[in-house]
């Protein structure tokens, strides 16, 4: 039996039992055999979900980039580490070997040092999906700086909030980014953001699109000449197991984003272990995850997990629809991709296009398919299985979160029999629990509940940057001694889990996690808006789309409502980013409220979804008559 690589169902059950019976021993054996340490840990695990505090491998010393790069050089120096596929298919792909990756990361690390970046400093990375993004992330880790990658689709305001929240002293960006036919001007977004960020001393700019940009004399520098002048070796900073590795922001139920803090050793061990098993990665495979490194999926399963296993990981700059809807499949054929990991929203969008786009390409290299980010519907699952996997590739429906760092519930290919829409079984070390509304654990099967995790795993986020109280409140106060995920789930008769969706005020749109509160805050800035409430409603490509109920101020003047709708979406784009725009905006004279003044979102959600059959008891509302008005004017 191998703890590290599970190859069949019996082995999974054995390993799982062991991991629950003696978690410390289980993870200790894996940590010992598969990673490079400068010093061994004194203690495998200490934890207290009340405080909350979790520490894995305390006392150990390591550098994650040595594990992801240096230790592979002897045996895999000339193997491709990162396979970069540009936006434009006519531009050549780049095969970046482990040797080359080592040199680039060391050069970049030396540049960061010259800019005055030290261990523990925060560095904001706002880049498109180009190799420099991976170099930047790893260069920070090399010198012990904490990276905070912000997805390059976020607006200047959203970027500024994130830079200020974690007090970043350096920003790494590019002149622009290619997204299909579009060229986006990233640098001017950074310039605008920095007008309100005093903490930033320097900006490094990668040349990508050669767009005309302005450089601020004493602040901005082009990266390339600095890289060229830098040494290709850089001694790794020796880090403590629990030193922060990165901050990654995720939206929550209230205004400001939460800077989830992940630490070094546990995150490394868990992402490497899950990468190996969930994708059944073997030495000559070509693995491709289509996510952006701006999200946790990219951190864990484009960069750290694959590289810790010495894998070849594809990085794609573009979009699935450019130059046409066959782009993904063209790349699979071209690079003989063996594992393909994407989001249900992409599968649904591509499934709507002509099958010619798929059939033109040879997809026979594929072995394992994965999905992540939101529940996958049965139709999309079957389309994926039949047309992409040709019914011979296991599909792994992987459930996890920014906060969990790595995949917690997922089938193991060739071991766990898959059932469409089920994430199936917990991975080793993961102890899920379903809770009822009274706070009691549900032990029976075949029921719905709120999904919690009872025991810490190595890659759980340790805190929210600068706000430990909020961390406690959000994840550890709903149920005593449990991590609460915010998701609902069903457990079937054999113990398989099916994630049913968020039970809080977060809506997942095209796989992006969006808190409704920050969107409402943005809308309420509109001078004509008095109040607003946002809910999600089912959408056949995006999974969910956003529906806004908006009360206008009574000013006596009449406004063109379509104009107000446009202005509202414009505001949302500026404050958050285009991904948070509303599909439908209904103007209303009121919102259903409880006697304590809380908006009854449950009712609004049902109306927006066109499901008014069972609105529940509305008589306890402060203003029950508003429900009829809203139903009458609902936008179809």
* 399 binding ligand WT7? (CB under 6 A): yes
What is the residue-wise DSSP string for 27-82? HHHHHHHHS--SB--SEEEEEETTTTEEEEEET-EE-HHHHHTGGGHHHHTTSEEE
Nearer to ligand WT7, 234 or 296 (CB): 296
Whole-number CA gyration radius for the chain: 24
* 262 binding ligand WT7? (CB under 6 A): no
* Least gap, CB of 330 to ligand WT7 (angstroms): 25
Nearer to ligand WT7, 487 or 520 (CB): 487
Which of 375, 449, 456, 458 forms a contact with ligand WT7 (CB under 6 A)? 375
The candidate with the shortest Cα–Cα distance to 591, out of 516, 527, 539, is: 516
Q: Pseudo-torsion of CA 623, 514, 466, 156, nearest 10°?
A: -110
* 487 binding ligand WT7? (CB under 6 A): yes
Interface with ligand WT7 (CB under 6 A), residue total 22
Nearer to ligand WT7, 385 or 397 (CB): 397
* 305 binding ligand WT7? (CB under 6 A): no
Helix axes of 156-165 and 561-575: crossing angle, nearest 10 degrees = 40
Which of 3, 297, 309, 588 forms a contact with ligand WT7 (CB under 6 A)? 297
* Least gap, CB of 137 to ligand WT7 (angstroms): 17
Distance between CA atoms of 620 and 624, rounded to whole angstroms? 8
* 398 binding ligand WT7? (CB under 6 A): yes
* 502 binding ligand WT7? (CB under 6 A): yes
Distance between CA atoms of 12 and 5, rounded to whole angstroms? 9
* 499 binding ligand WT7? (CB under 6 A): yes
Which of 513, 532, 569, 588 forms a contact with ligand WT7 (CB under 6 A)? 513
Distance between CA atoms of 441 and 438, rounded to whole angstroms? 9
Other CB atoms within 10 Å distance of the CB of residue 444: 9
* Least gap, CB of 470 to ligand WT7 (angstroms): 16
Q: How far is the first Cα of the chain from the last one, in angstroms, to the nearest whole number? A: 56
* Least gap, CB of 506 to ligand WT7 (angstroms): 7
166, 305 contact by CB (below 8 A): no
Distance between CA atoms of 342 and 371, rounded to whole angstroms? 5
Nearer to ligand WT7, 80 or 297 (CB): 297
* 424 binding ligand WT7? (CB under 6 A): no
* 416 binding ligand WT7? (CB under 6 A): no
Q: In 3-state terms, the chain is what percent helix, strand and coil (to 5)?
A: 35, 25, 40
Nearer to ligand WT7, 310 or 405 (CB): 405
| Listed ranges 204-212, 310-318, 359-367, 482-490: which one lies at the site for ligand WT7 (CB under 6 A) | 482-490
* Least gap, CB of 87 to ligand WT7 (angstroms): 23
Segment 584-603, which members bind ligand WT7 (CB under 6 A)?
none
* Least gap, CB of 501 to ligand WT7 (angstroms): 6
C-alpha distances (whole Å) from 2 to each of 30, 34, 273, 498 are: 9, 12, 12, 28
Which of 160, 296, 369, 607 forms a contact with ligand WT7 (CB under 6 A)? 296
Distance between CA atoms of 334 and 360, rounded to whole angstroms? 12
* 397 binding ligand WT7? (CB under 6 A): yes
| Listed ranges 105-113, 394-402, 441-449, 596-604: which one lies at the site for ligand WT7 (CB under 6 A) | 394-402
Nearer to ligand WT7, 155 or 401 (CB): 401
Distance between CA atoms of 127 and 150, rounded to whole angstroms? 8
Q: What is the DSSP letter of 399?
A: B
Segment 2-61, which members bind ligand WT7 (CB under 6 A)?
none
The candidate with the shortest Cα–Cα distance to 36, out of 72, 74, 81, is: 72
* 423 binding ligand WT7? (CB under 6 A): yes
Which of 341, 381, 384, 400 forms a contact with ligand WT7 (CB under 6 A)? 400
The candidate with the shortest Cα–Cα distance to 173, out of 133, 232, 215, is: 133
Which of 30, 508, 603, 607 forms a contact with ligand WT7 (CB under 6 A)? 508
Phi, then psi, of 37 in degrees rounded to 5: -120, 145
335, 83 contact by CB (below 8 A): yes
Residues that bind ligand WT7 (CB under 6 A): 250, 295-297, 372-375, 397-402, 423, 485-487, 499, 502, 508, 513
């Amino acid at each position: 039996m191998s703890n590290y690589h599970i190859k069949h169902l019996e082995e999974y059950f054995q390993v799982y039992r062991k991991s629950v019976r003696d978690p410390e021993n289980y993870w200790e054996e894996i940590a010992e055999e598969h990673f490079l340490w400068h010093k061994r840990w004194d203690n495998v695990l200490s934890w207290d979900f009340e405080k909350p505090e979790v520490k894995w491998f305390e006392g150990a010393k390591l550098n994650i980039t040595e594990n992801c790069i240096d230790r592979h050089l002897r045996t895999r120096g000339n193997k491709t580490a990162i396979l970069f596929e540009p936006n434009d298919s006519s531009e050549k792909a780049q095969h970046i070997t482990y040797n080359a990756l080592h040199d680039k990361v060391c050069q970049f690390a030396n540049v960061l040092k010259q800019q005055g970046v030290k261990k523990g400093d925060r560095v904001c990375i706002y880049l498109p999906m180009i190799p420099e993004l991976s170099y930047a992330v790893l260069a920070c880790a090399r010198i012990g700086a904490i990276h905070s990658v912000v997805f390059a689709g976020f607006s200047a305001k959203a970027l500024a909030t994130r830079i200020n929240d974690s007090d970043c002293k350096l920003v790494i960006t590019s002149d622009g980014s290619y997204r299909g036919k579009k060229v986006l001007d990233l640098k001017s977004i950074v310039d605008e953001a920095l007008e309100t960020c005093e903490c930033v001393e320097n900006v490094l700019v990668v040349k990508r699109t050669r767009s005309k940009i302005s450089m601020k004399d004493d602040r901005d520098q082009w990266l390339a000449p600095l890289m060229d002048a830098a040494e290709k070796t850089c001694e790794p900073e020796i880090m403590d197991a629990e030193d922060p590795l990165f901050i990654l922001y995720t939206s929550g139920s209230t205004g400001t984003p939460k800077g989830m803090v992940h630490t070094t050793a546990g995150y490394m061990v868990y992402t490497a272990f899950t990468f190996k098993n969930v994708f059944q990665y073997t030495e000559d495979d070509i693995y491709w995850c289509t996510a952006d490194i701006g999200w946790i999926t990219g951190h864990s399963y484009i960069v750290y997990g694959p590289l810790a296993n010495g894998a070849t990981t594809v990085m794609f700059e573009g979009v699935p629809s450019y130059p046409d809807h066959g782009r993904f499949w063209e790349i699979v054929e071209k690079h003989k991709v063996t594992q393909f990991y994407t989001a249900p929203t992409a599968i649904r969008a591509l499934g709507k296009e002509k099958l010619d786009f798929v059939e033109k390409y040879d997809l026979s290299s594929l072995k394992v398919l994965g999905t992540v980010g939101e529940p996958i519907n049965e139709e999309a699952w079957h389309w994926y299985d039949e047309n992409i996997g040709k019914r011979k590739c296991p599909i792994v429906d992987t459930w996890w979160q920014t906060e969990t760092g790595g995949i917690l519930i997922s089938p193991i290919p060739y071991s766990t029999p898959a059932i469409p829409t089920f994430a199936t079984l917990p991975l080793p070390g993961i102890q899920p629990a379903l809770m009822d509304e009274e706070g009691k654990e549900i032990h029976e099967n075949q029921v719905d509940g709120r999904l919690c995790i009872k025991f810490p795993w190595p890659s759980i986020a340790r805190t929210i940057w600068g706000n430990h109280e909020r961390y406690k409140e959000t994840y550890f106060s709903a149920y005593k001694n449990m991590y609460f995920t915010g998701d609902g789930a069903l457990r079937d008769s054999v113990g398989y889990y099916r994630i049913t969706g968020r039970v809080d005020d977060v809506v997942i749109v095209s796989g992006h996690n969006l808190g409704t509160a920050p969107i409402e805050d943005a809308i309420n800035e509109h001078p004509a808006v008095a109040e607003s409430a946002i809910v999600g409603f089912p959408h056949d490509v995006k999974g969910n789309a956003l529906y806004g109920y908006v009360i206008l101020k009574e000013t006596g003047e009449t406004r063109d409502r379509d104009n107000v709708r446009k202005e509202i979406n414009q505001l949302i784009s500026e404050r958050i980013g285009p991904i948070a725009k509303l599909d439908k905006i209904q103007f209303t004279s009121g919102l259903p409220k409880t006697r304590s003044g809380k908006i009854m979102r449950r009712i609004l959600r049902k109306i927006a979804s066109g499901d008014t059959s069972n609105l529940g008891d509305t008589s306890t509302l402060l203003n029950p008559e508003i429900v009829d008005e809203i139903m009458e004017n609902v936008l179809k």
